[in-house]
């Protein structure tokens, strides 16, 4: 949640995300997750993932519903979301791309890859392409140093041994 800078999304955007999946429909799957732990609250990360995947991002309604569902205060759910970089409480592109900037990738040209992506889409890392297709985040070591420089589509493909050209191509191919 951005504090003090006003909302970074509109009510319409939130409503559109919520409309993608009703919490009731998600429940049967969530029940199987909760059953894996001796305490409901432990299912926090799995539940956040399920809801985020279904709706694209974690809307205020989602946060309320998850808090109720797990029997924990909303402030706790928000605190968890903001701790983890892969949870999003603002709208993001259809896919989120994580571009590694850490040492093994930097040694093999990660900065040039990042510059090329920023140039191509006219955004800085953390931004979303104007067509809403991709949010491009910077990432710390993705554990793919054997294919450095590299990037990962969240819950999707990984792209390695990138050059500035092949990085752009990999994303253009997915449009």
Partner 1 sequence: MGLRDRLLQHAPPIGSSQSYDDYVASGGYQGLKKALGMEPDAVTQMVLEAGVRGRGGAGFPAGRKWSFVPKGTGKPVYLACNADESEPGCFKDRQIMERVPHLLIEGCVAACHAIGAQIAYIYVRGEYPQSIAALEAALVEAREKGTVGSDVMGSGWACDVWVHKGAGAYICGEETGLLSSLEGGRGYPRIKPPFPAVEGLWRSPTIINNVETLANVPLIVRDGVEAFKSVGNDDTTGTRLVGISGHVENPCDVEIDPATTTIRDLIETHAGGVWKGRKLKAVIPGGSSVPVMPADAIDVPFTYGAVRDAGSLAGAAGVIVMDETTCMVDALLNLMQFYHHESCGQCTPCREGTGWLEKLVTRIWKGEGRPSDIDLLDSVADTIGGAQNGKTICFLADSAVMPTKSFLKHFRGDFVAAVENGGSPVWKAQEARRAKVSA
Applying CB under 8 A, the residues found at the interface with partner 1 are 36, 38-39, 41-46, 48-49, 70, 72, 76, 79-80, 83-87, 98, 101-104, 106-108, 111, 115, 119, 139-148, 152, 154-156, 158
A 10 A CB-CB count for 149 gives 30
* Least distance CB 12 / partner 1 (angstroms): 27
Could you say whether residue 104 binds ligand FES (CB under 6 A)? yes
Tokens of 4: 């003090």
**Number of residues this chain uses to bind ligand FES (CB under 6 A):** 12
The rounded distance, in Å, linking the Cα atoms of 93 and 117 is 15
The rounded distance, in Å, linking the Cα atoms of 38 and 25 is 24
**Which CB atom, from 16 or from 147, has the smaller least distance to ligand FES?**
147
Cβ atoms of residues 175 and 94 within 8 Å: no
Could you say whether residue 102 binds ligand FES (CB under 6 A)? yes
Part of the chain binding ligand FES (CB under 6 A), chosen from 17-25, 29-37, 101-109, 121-129: 101-109
Could you say whether residue 125 binds ligand FES (CB under 6 A)? no
Which residues 6+ apart lie within 8 Å of 87 measured at CB?
48, 52, 58, 80, 81
* Least distance CB 64 / partner 1 (angstroms): 17
A 10 A CB-CB count for 16 gives 14
Could you say whether residue 151 binds ligand FES (CB under 6 A)? no
Could you say whether residue 66 binds ligand FES (CB under 6 A)? no
Please report, for residues 25, 30, 92, 107, 117, the alpha-carbon distance to residue 21 in angstroms, rounded to integers and kept in the order given.
7, 13, 17, 43, 32
**Which CB atom, from 78 or from 138, has the smaller least distance to ligand FES?**
138
Q: Note the residues at the interface with ligand FES (CB under 6 A).
A: 100, 102-105, 141-145, 148, 150
């Amino acid at each position: 949640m951005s504090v003090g800078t006003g909302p970074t999304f509109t009510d319409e955007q939130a409503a559109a995300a919520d409309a993608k999946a009703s919490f009731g429909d998600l429940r049967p799957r969530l029940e199987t997750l909760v059953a894996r732990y001796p305490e409901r609250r432990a299912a926090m990360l799995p539940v956040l993932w399920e809801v985020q995947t279904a709706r694209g991002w974690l809307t205020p309604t989602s946060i309320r519903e998850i808090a109720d569902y797990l029997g924990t205060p909303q402030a706790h759910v928000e605190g968890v979301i903001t701790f983890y970089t892969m949870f999003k409480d603002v709208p993001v592109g259809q896919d989120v791309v994580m571009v590694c900037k850490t040492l093994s990738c930097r040694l093999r040209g990660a900065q040039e890859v990042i510059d090329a992506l920023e140039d191509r889409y006219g955004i800085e890392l953390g931004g979303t392409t104007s067509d809403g297709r991709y949010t491009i985040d910077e990432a710390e070591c993705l554990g793919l140093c054997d294919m450095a420089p590299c990037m990962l589509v969240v819950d999707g493909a990984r792209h390695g041994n990138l050059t500035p050209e092949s990085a752009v191509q990999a994303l253009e191919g997915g449009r």
